Amino acid sequence: MNTRSYTPFAKLLHWAMALLILGLFVVGFLMHDLPLSPWKLKVYSWHKWAGVTAFLLVLARLAWRLGHRPPELPEAIPRATRALAHAGHGLLYLLMIAVPLSGWLMSSAKGFQTVYFGLLPIPDLLAKNKELGDLLHEVHESLNLLVVALVVAHVAAALKHHFVDRDDILVRMLPGRKPS
Amino acid sequence: MKRLASILIPTLMLTVAPAAHAVEYKTVQADKSRLSFGYRQMGVAMDGRFSRFTVQLAFDPARPAAARAVMEVELASIDAGSAEANDEVAGKEWFNSKAFPVARFVADAVKPLGGNRYEVHGKLTIKGHTQAVVAPATLTPQAGAAAFDGAFQIKRADFAIGEGAWADFGTVANEISIKFHILASAGK
Ligand code: HEM
Ligand code: HEM
């Protein structure tokens, strides 16, 4: 079974974003418990800058994807499973937008504006409001937990395709293989 | 005798005449006054305020040279943006508010700059460090009262605010801008 591969640009964006998002998770979950210090303030800023970068990347990725359909999933995969895969990918895209948006809104509500790389101030859409800030923190956290669950399932599915089904679903996303 | 009178009378008139019309602003309305500050943290503009401070004021616009002002700020009343930050700045490295609970500003000269503008010269003491500061201020008369609005900048390092790990200005900038709005009613 040999299907077309993802284009190199699609692969690049997928893996760059996968790494970035995994990094954001780890940093995000660890940084809250740091004692207040210059280091903590730096880490928070880096998290926010990287998060905004992820947001810009997913916009670019979606814009690019509109004109570049990904390779079809092979017919051998049951229709319902294919639908599930598409739904899962769609949800991942949605969350890649919703998570940074919630982070940005939370920061505004907590009274900490986001200034991209310390240079470009991103306007605050919300005024400072502690209750709303705490609520948006919950939102950011819950959405992230949802992403974690989905990514675990996503990775498990990719590995199952490779090692159990022995098809090339994983391989066609791996770097190095030319689209055919 | 005549000569003396010709000197004395105009001099007396000069000093007495304005005083007869002048109001002296003395009673500060704490609930209508504000003391806020701003700084940059990782390039982000932050602001905060102190909610408890007292001002002893005697200011007659006609006699700025005789003005007196003493402001005392209860450092524990800070709102630096978040509960975490408020706890932090009370600590030894920042204000050390246990040992130095009060910041004090004592004006020692008020220079008129023309119109409603003045320049307040004074000494600011925080955490046992005293520095001379100059604050431009404007006076806006209102019914039976006047608002003094002004702003000036200090460098936190001059007062050892933010020591140890915080001494580096890369995260929290050295420059702190301070803004005041003081409403005082006219006393007799
Ligand atoms: C894809 C992008 C992002 C991911 C994967 C991500 C992930 C996370 C995670 C896992 C946490 C820990 C949640 C918790 O348990 O408290 C977190 C916290 C946080 N995130 Fe994000 N984040 C992203 C984007 C952003 C953006 C764009 C901003 C702001 C502009 C932001 C601001 C924050 C802040 C301020 C916290 C800490 C909340 C606190 O501890 O009080 N995040 N993030
Ligand atoms: C090490 C972790 C990961 C592995 C092994 C992995 C693997 C894969 C593979 C093999 C595909 C292609 C599926 C196909 O052939 O149709 C894919 C697509 C996709 N992955 Fe991942 N992935 C990982 C992490 C992530 C992360 C963290 C995200 C985002 C949060 C993500 C989002 C997506 C999306 C949205 C697609 C669909 C691309 C499209 O068709 O437009 N992946 N992934």
Higher-confidence position of B11 and B149: B149
pLDDT computed for residue B144 by the predictor: 85
Average pLDDT, chain B: 89
Residues whose beta carbon lies within 6 Å of some atom of ligand 2: A 14, 18, 21-22, 65, 70, 73, 89, 92-93, 96, 147, 151, 154-155, 158, 169-170, 172-173
Ligand 2 atom 37: the closest Cα is on which residue?
A89
**Domains in chain A: boundaries:** 8-173
DSSP of chain B, one letter per residue? -HHHHHHHHHHHHHHHHHHHH--EEEEE-GGG-EEEEEEEETTEEEEEEES-EEEEEEB-TT-GGG-EEEEEEEGGGEE-SSHHHHHHHHSTTTT-TTT--EEEEEEEEEEEEETTEEEEEEEEEETTEEEEEEEEEEEEEETTEEEEEEEEEEEGGGGT-S-GGGGSTTTB-SEEEEEEEEEEEEE-
- Put simply, whether B165 touches A (Cβ < 8 Å) is yes
Ligand 2 atom 1: the closest Cα is on which residue?
A155
Give residues 90 to 119 of B whose Cβ lies within 8 Å of A: none
Higher-confidence position of A180 and B123: B123
Query: Amino acid letter at B59?
Result: F
Number of CB atoms found within 10 A of residue B120's CB: 23
Residue B12 pLDDT greater than 60, yes or no: no
| Domains recognised in chain B with CATH numbers | 22-186 (2.40.128.110)
pLDDT computed for residue B163 by the predictor: 96
Contact B42 A115 (CB under 8 A): yes
pLDDT computed for residue B58 by the predictor: 92
pLDDT computed for residue B148 by the predictor: 95
pLDDT computed for residue B188 by the predictor: 54
Interface of A with B (CB under 8 A): 36-39, 41-42, 44-45, 110-115, 117-119, 121
How many Å apart are CA B129 and CA B161, to the nearest integer?
Answer: 10
Testing ligand 2's pocket by substitution, the residue of A89, A95, A144 carrying the most ligand atoms inside 8 A of its CB is A89
Burial class (CB in 10 A: 0-12, 13-18, 19+), A19: exposed
Ligand 2 atom 26: the closest Cα is on which residue?
A18
C-alpha dihedral sign at B157, B152, B50, B41: negative
**What's the whole-number mean pLDDT along residues A24-50?**
96
pTM above the 0.95 mark? no
HEC profile of chain A:
CCCCCCCHHHHHHHHHHHHHHHHHHHHHHHHCCCCCCHHHHHHHHHHHHHHHHHHHHHHHHHHHHHHCCCCCCCCCCCHHHHHHHHHHHHHHHHHHHHHHHHHHHHHHHHCCCEEECCCEEECCCCCCCHHHHHHHHHHHHHHHHHHHHHHHHHHHHHHHHHHHHCCCCCHHHCCCCCCC
Question: pLDDT of B58-102, one tens digit each?
Answer: 999 888 889 999 999 999 999 998 899 999 999 999 999 999 999
Question: pLDDT of A134-172, one tens digit each?
Answer: 999 999 999 999 999 999 999 999 999 999 999 999 999
How much of chain A, in percent, has pLDDT values that exceed 90?
93
pLDDT computed for residue B23 by the predictor: 79
CATH of A8-173, one of 1.20.950.20, 3.30.70.60, 1.10.3720.10, 3.40.1160.10: 1.20.950.20
Residue B186 pLDDT greater than 50, yes or no: yes
pLDDT computed for residue A104 by the predictor: 98
Question: pLDDT of A46-75, one tens digit each?
Answer: 999 999 999 999 999 999 999 999 999 999
Instruction: Look up tokens 């006076």; give the residue.
Output: B139
ipTM: 0.79
Question: pLDDT of B30-64, one tens digit each?
Answer: 899 999 999 999 999 999 999 999 999 999 988 88
pLDDT computed for residue B61 by the predictor: 87
CA distances from B170 to A31, A123, B123 (A): 19, 23, 28
Q: How confident is the model at residue B24 (pLDDT cuts 50, 70, 90)?
A: confident
Residue B10 pLDDT greater than 80, yes or no: no
Nearest CB to B171; choose among A41, A112, A115: A41
pLDDT computed for residue B14 by the predictor: 45
Question: pLDDT of A110-139, one tens digit each?
Answer: 999 999 999 999 999 999 999 999 999 999
Q: Shortest CA distance to B147 belongs to which of B106, B179, B111? A: B179
**What's the whole-number mean pLDDT along residues B169-182?**
96
pLDDT computed for residue A177 by the predictor: 64
